[in-house]
Amino acid sequence: MAAAFAACHKETEEDKIRKVIGSVQNAVAEKQVTAVLEHVSRAYRDPQGNDYDGIKSIFAFYFLRHRAVSVSIPALDITVTNDMARAMFQAVLTGRDGADSEHTTILPEALGVYQFNVVLRKEENVWKVLSATWDRIGEGPSPRQQ
């Protein structure tokens, strides 16, 4: 019965965006900068002053800094207008440092809950991240965003 439903269900634009966010989430957990960037527009610009190369550097730094990375996104709020979309969500990011598995702890060394506001644009029939803002919850906006 599930197969019959899946065959009848036409994938919506919201479904496609959920897949993009999920793919980025998986790529971050696997620390694959190239896989993350597959979903980022070359025209990427954000209010923090980052462009495509800047966001690439942020991911590379975070992946080098933490031996293991985890991302949890409990819910997504997506709105689509023509070839533009917005995804808003909270994400729990954790990072575990140190290469010595003998002395690793259960708790991560880095933990943060962030509010993301991601703008996507459909480019050649594929949704790409065009811009994003993120604030650590409980700390207010970063100084560059004020």
Q: 70, 69, 73, 56: which is closest to 22 by C-alpha?
A: 73
Q: pLDDT category, 66, cuts 50, 70, 90?
A: confident
What CATH fold (topology level) applies to the domain 12-139? Nuclear Transport Factor 2; Chain: A, (3.10.450)
Q: What is the pLDDT of residues 111-146, one digit of tens each?
A: 789 999 999 999 999 999 999 999 999 765 544 444
- What are the b/e assignments for 81-104, b being 16+ CB within 10 Å? eeeebebebebebbbbeeeeeeee
The pLDDT value given to residue 2: 54
Where are the chain's structural domains? 12-139
Over 90: is that where the pLDDT of 20 sits?
yes
User: Which pLDDT belongs to residue 101?
Assistant: 46
Model pLDDT for residues 30-44, shown as the tens digit of each residue:
999 999 999 999 999
Q: For residue 145, what is the DSSP state?
A: G
Q: What is the largest CA-CA distance in the chain?
A: 53
